Structure formats: structure tokens, C-alpha cells
Amino acid sequence: MVTIRILLTVSLTHHWPVIQLDVANAFLHDNLSEEVYMKQPVVFTDPQHPTHVCKLNKSIYGLKQSLRQWFQKFTSFLHNLGFQFSKADPSLLILNHNNAYIFILIYVDDILITGNNSQAIQNILQQLHSAFRLKQLGDVSLFFGIQVVKTKHDVFLHQEHYARDLLTHAGFSDCKPAATPLGLKCKEQRDTQPFSDPTHFWKLAGSLQYLSITRPDIAFATNSICQHMHQPSNHDYLKLKRILRYMKGTIDFGLPIKSGNILQLTTYTDADWAADSSNRKSITEFCTFLGQNLIAWSVKKQATVAKSSTKVEYRSLSAATSDTIWLRRLLADFNIPQKQPTTIHCDNTSTIALAHNPVFHARTKHIENDYHFISDHIKQGEINIQHISSEDQTADILTKSLSATRFSTLMSKLTIRSKND
């Protein structure tokens, strides 16, 4: 999804068309490279040899090898046309020939193609049509279940239709909207009474995870309920209903992508120390902007318990640094090199001091590897860590439940808005 957002940002900035393709019967295109046998289909069983099996010569749907075989066949064809894999994302292939830049992004049988040379794109499409059964769907409008609305100045990503279907399935079509996805005083109180229909809970929680692709404002709340998927309680279901009520009031919200001349990365990182009252593990979160567009975010519980807020923030800074370095490499593949160090904003002064001037003790050896990783990239000029006040920390929305006023302020900083605004 990060690569898709970057591709749309780049194409919008350079005024390139983004053409969507769909491959008919994608998994039936390639021969198998290994021996695979299957039972005879029930309606085609040979009465004279009912115990015989069929040897497959070509891949079929339902075979675990089919996806890999299709990907290898399609990418091999593109490789013969001169395309090369992106070093950062294997689903992105790039053609750079005679000042022509063509990018093809593959998600199973859904394909996006864009570039700066319309004639070269048409030649590639003709060759693809000759080798595969392709449907050329025109400008991208629905990809990966995400609605893409184009205007003259921006692209708006939203999942309104999916959200409406989710609310209808959950029986919340006429519910009272909530101002925030989590209550301000919401605590991790474990209810001993298990929820009566865990399958229903799993379906709704999984759907909310999918909605967070364009709705980072529900990322923290969704992460919170998904931590109890193994044994949901009535209390967990109440939290899930709160998110659904919030979705009811913001059903047409989404993520805009705007054009801009300055495509510089900026990252915000934060952490919530001992946030989970059940095991006192902390939450790591960060978000990254390319220019004014939000392209990446993460909310994740840390694997071990930390004894201080500095250690928690330092682990969060290390995770944000890893993602930032990967984004810099991905942007280089899009021919957008980051010539200046990427600024990472952190609101913990002790963490920043440790990153620049460490004083290790016996009790801090377990974060020494994180220090060397961060320090190396600071010295190489790839990142620059700057202090930011907690009031201006954009990533704060990904850490905890907030008041309606504070939540609305940070949501606007994430650029989330209604499609009608």
C-alpha cells in the first residue's frame, strides 16, 4: 500500500496517467515446473479407474504454486521487455530506457502502469495484450478495493462503499455516531465473560483492519481490539462497537494525495510507555509524509516490557528509522532521490540525547544495537533527529485515546477529511 500511495503521488505530481489492467484467468497461464497430482473431480471420475489421480501440466486455481507461477511468468515477460525489479519492493518493476521511465505495480492480477512516455506505454500494452488476456480498465478508479477519485488538483482515496457494507452487515446502519473511535477513559479491563459469537467479532475486526488502509485515524483503536482476537470478551465487543459508531459519522472520510513540487520525506515517531495494563508492554508508532501527503504509518505493540520511557521511545525511533531508510530506497527507484537527510521528529529529549551522545551502562546493553543502527544512519547523512513538542506530535493520534478536540486536531494534521471537503 505504501508503494501504491507513492506511485499515485509521483504520477499526480508529474501529471502522468495511471492505467489499470486486469488479467483474466491469471493462474491458468503458466506450465508447472514440478510434478503435481490431484484427485479426480467428482463429476469427471473415470469409472474404470476411480482410484487414479490426475497429473497437472498447468497451474489451476486452488493450487498453492499457482500464485508464484503466475508472478514468475508475468515478471519474466516484463524482464524480456527491459524491466527491472525495484530493489525495495519486488512488486514494482521499472523500465528506464532513453529517458523513458515506466513503472508497473503488480498485485496478483491487478496491475497499475504509469510513466512519462505515453507512446512507450502503448507499445508495452500492445505486447502485453498479445501475450495475456488483459482487460484495460482505463484510469485507475478502484484498486485493491480502494476507490480512487481524481480531481484536477488531487487524488482522494476512500472506502465508503466497503464501510457501508460493513455497517449493514454488523447491524449498525442506523446507529448513533461517536466523535472518536475510543472513549477517553477507555481502559484495558479484561471481562471474564466471553463474547457469545467470536466468529462475528473476527469478521468485523478483520474488516476494520482492511478499512485502516485509508483510515489511519482508526489504526490504534483497531490494533487495540485485534490484540484479543483469540478470545474476545463482551468488553472487547463494546470497544469494537464504538469504532463502528465512529465509522458511521465519518463514513465518507479518506486520505487525499495532493501534487507538490517538494517531495521530501518527514517522519514523526512516538511511543506510549506501558500502555497495556494486562502485561505493561508499550506501543510503538510512527507516520511518514512525502511532501504534504501521508504515505506510511504503523502501530505495533513492543515484544518485551521496557523499564523506562526512554527505552520505549528509543525502540520506536529505531523502528521509524528502519522504515524511513526503506522509503528512501524506494523513492530512489522512483527517481526521487532524497538529497537531504530525512527529518525524524521525536518528543523525548532523553532519546535524542542518547542517539547523539550515548552513555551505555550494564542495564542498557540490550538497546546498544539500536543505537549503532541509528547512529550509523545519522553519520551517513540519511536521517536527522529533531525535537518536537508533545503538543505538535502528529503521531500522538496513533498512541492512545484522546479527547474529541485533540483527536480532531491531529486527524487534520494527518490530512484525513471528507471527500466532499
In a domain, 158, yes or no: no
CATH code assigned at 288: 3.30.420.10
Q: What is the pLDDT of residues 50-71, one digit of tens each?
A: 899 999 888 888 888 888 888 8
Structural domain total, the chain = 2
Quick check: is 393 in a domain? no
pTM higher than the cut 0.75: yes
pLDDT tens track for 212-269: 999 999 999 999 899 888 889 998 999 999 999 999 999 999 999 998 888 999 999 9
Is residue 355 within 8 Å of 378, Cβ to Cβ? Answer: yes
Last residue of a domain, one of 91, 121, 142: 142
Q: Does 353 reside within a domain? A: yes
Q: Is the pLDDT of residue 179 over 70?
A: yes
Asked whether residue 232 is domain-assigned, the answer is no
Determine, yes or no, domain membership for 235: no
Residue 365's pLDDT is: 57
Domain that holds residue 338: 260-346+348-387
SS3 365: helix
Q: In this structure, are strands 253-258 and 293-301 parallel, antiparallel, or unpaired?
A: unpaired
Long-range contacts from 29-33, C-beta under 8 angstroms, 24+ separation: 29/59, 29/70, 29/73, 29/74, 29/132, 30/58, 30/59, 30/69, 30/70, 30/72, 30/73, 31/57, 31/58, 31/59, 31/69, 32/56, 32/57, 32/58, 32/59, 32/65, 32/69, 33/69
Q: Which CATH number fits the domain that encloses residue 43? A: 3.30.70
pLDDT for residue 275: 67
Assign 362 a pLDDT band (cuts: 50, 70, 90): very low
Cα-Cα-Cα-Cα torsion 324, 343, 4, 170, nearest 10 degrees, comes to 90
pLDDT above 70 covers a percentage of the chain that reads 93
- On whether residue 273 sits in a domain, the answer given is yes
CA–CA dist 214, 416 (Å, integer): 9
Sign of the dihedral through C-alpha 285, 289, 290, 295:
positive
Instruction: Report yes or no on 156 lying in a domain.
Output: no
Residue 271 carries which side chain, given as an amino acid letter? A
Alpha helix (H) ranges present in 53-145? 66-80, 118-131
Inform me whether the pLDDT recorded for 361 exceeds 60: no
- Tell me: the pLDDT tens digits for 124-157? 999 999 998 888 898 999 888 899 998 877 899 9
Check whether 345 has a pLDDT greater than 70: yes
Is residue 95 one of the residues assigned to a domain?
Answer: yes
Contact yes or no for 206/164 (Cβ under 8 A):
no
* pLDDT for the residue numbered 254: 95
Q: 6 and 138 share a domain?
A: yes
- Domain final residue, candidates 125, 142, 159: 142
